Structure 1
Amino acid sequence: MKQKVVLITGASSGIGDATARALAGAGYRVFGGVRAPGATSAIPGVEFVEMDVKDDDSVRSAVDDVLKRAGRIDVLVNNAGVSLVGPVEATSDAEVAALFDVNVFGVLRVVRAVLPSMRREKSGLIVNISSVLGFLPAPFMGLYASSKHALEGLSESLDHEVRGFGVRVMLVEPSFTRTKLDINATRTASVITDYETALHASVDAVQQQVSNAPPPDSVAKSILATVEGTYRLRRPADGRAKLLTFLRRFAPAPQVDKSLRKAFGLN
């Protein structure tokens, strides 16, 4: 049986780094897309390719490089992402564009570059790393949540389009994870003082949850299980994500609303 080939975006740190290690350790041939291969710490068994998901030419060049070296891409893990914290009202057009350029259009660029080879092979799996904020609201992370809601709609729609070619699309939905994405999230440049008290309370609540959250290795194990398991469109990445999925579907709306406000320090 041929060794399966995996391409992971955003492989230099956090969930991407942990996933590259987990898949390489499980016997996959792993290519990690990173913006600066020369400045990225080596990962055993992982081959880096230069890729900036914000740039069409960079994405196409990276995918062509993988195909030349490996001949195929069996699994694509779209992990690269950025975050933004601040009131929706304070968010500038440029900040929104920068966020969506990575979290939505970045995924779209890589998918468009990889799909032709998957269609030719009549086989492939695309795993998009979403979040529980892909199905829940997030005060003061409204644009990040919007980008993940968009990713979920894109993924579910795309799966219908490509399954006739033997390609499937899946979503992995982590809750808070102990990575730099949440700890060092960019703040909106504009400040509206009316929101400051609630914003600070929310940021403190999120930081507390992140500090007690599982490490990215736990999400990597879920991604490995997703790649190797039976098809399921959405896979909650941890116990908290499973609970939130259940509550979103079955709990009364006022209970969900109250729990969410408590989690974001808005009580």
Structure 2
Amino acid sequence: MEQKVVLITGGSSGIGKSIGIFLKSKGFIVYGTTRSKAKYPNFDAFNLLELDVKKEDTIALAITELLKREGKIDVLVNNAGVGITGPIEETPDVEISKAFDTNFHGPIRMMKAVLPQMRLQKAGLIINITSIAGYMGLPYRGIYSASKGALELVTEAMRMETKDFGVHITNLAPGDFATNIASGRYHSPVLTNSAYQKPYGATLEAINNDVDSGGDPIQVAHKVFKIIKTPKPKVHYKVGDFMQKFSLLLKKILPDKVYEKLLLNHYKL
């Protein structure tokens, strides 16, 4: 059987790297992307291309290079993303725009770049890595939740728009996993003269603890592999611990104010 070619954005570390290593071990031809190959001179886990999802010229160059080498692209995993925390009132507009540029506009740019080739092939799979946080407005993570929730909805629309091309598009929403996302996250500073000082400071600490104690990202890799092997993928997939996935069920069945109270209690607000 011919090997499938997989492209993973944000593949040099964290969840993306775990996905790439696992898929390579399963016989896939794997390409990951990074904004700067110079930062990873000894990277040998799989092929690495320089690409910034915020810059269309780098996307075009990377896709051209990939097709030159392999002649096709079977799977795109839109994994590149950034974290952002803070009271929305105190989060600078420029930082909100940056987060959406990476988490929302970036995956759309990538899908636009690969769809012509997938349409030509009459086959292809796009997996958008979103977040369980994208299903709810989390306090002090509202912008992150919104950017991931927006990608969930765009995926729903694009699935229907591309159904006649032999292309499948789906969402995979992870919960908290132990990655380096916190180190690259923008967080509004905890200001001593702010009305949000105490609740935001405590919530930020809780968020960091959740990430640090998160699960092994290999769980996400296993889920991606399972999706690739599924002939007709569902619209939405989730991966995370029981309580994270159970929280989504609660959101469906509980009155809004009751669910809001659960979140407030969880974050001790």
Q: Matched residue of 2:151: which SS?
A: helix
Q: Give, in whole Å, the separation in 2 of the partners of 1:28 and 1:38.
A: 25
Q: TM-score, normalised by structure 1?
A: 0.94
Q: TM-score, normalised by structure 2?
A: 0.93
Q: Give, in whole Å, the separation in 2 of the partners of 1:197 and 1:9.
A: 36
Provide the residue aligned with 1:221 in structure 2: 222
Count the aligned residue pairs: 265
Q: Matched residue of 1:149: which SS?
A: helix
Q: Give, in whole Å, the separation in 2 of the partners of 1:228 and 1:238.
A: 20
The Cα of 1:184 is off from its aligned counterpart by 4.9
Provide the residue aligned with 1:249 in structure 2: 252
Q: Give, in whole Å, the separation in 2 of the partners of 1:265 and 1:166.
A: 47
Indicate if the aligned counterparts of 1:21 and 1:43 stay in contact, CA closer than 8 A.
no
1:260 to 256, 260, 263: 263
The Cα of 1:112 is off from its aligned counterpart by 0.8
Instruction: Note if 1:117 corresponds to 2:117.
Output: yes
Q: Matched residue of 1:77: which SS?
A: strand
Q: Give, in whole Å, the separation in 1 of the partners of 2:261 and 2:176.
A: 18
Indicate if the aligned counterparts of 1:183 and 1:207 stay in contact, CA closer than 8 A.
no
Question: What 5-or-longer segments of structure 2 have no aligned partner?
Answer: none
The Cα of 1:22 is off from its aligned counterpart by 1.0
The one-letter code sitting in structure 1 at the alignment partner of 2:59 is: V
Instruction: Note if 1:239 corresponds to 2:241.
Output: yes
The Cα of 1:91 is off from its aligned counterpart by 1.5
User: Higher mean Cα deviation, 26-35 or 245-254?
Assistant: 245-254
Question: What 5-or-longer segments of structure 1 have no aligned partner?
Answer: none
Q: Matched residue of 1:170: which SS?
A: strand
Task: Give CA deviations for 1:22-43 in whole Å, capped at 9, x if unaligned.
Answer: 1111111001011122322524
Q: Give, in whole Å, the separation in 2 of the partners of 1:263 and 1:216.
A: 24
Q: Give, in whole Å, the separation in 1 of the partners of 2:229 and 2:263.
A: 33
Q: Give, in whole Å, the separation in 2 of the partners of 1:225 and 1:251.
A: 31
Q: Matched residue of 1:231: which SS?
A: coil
Q: Give, in whole Å, the separation in 2 of the partners of 1:30 and 1:85.
A: 32
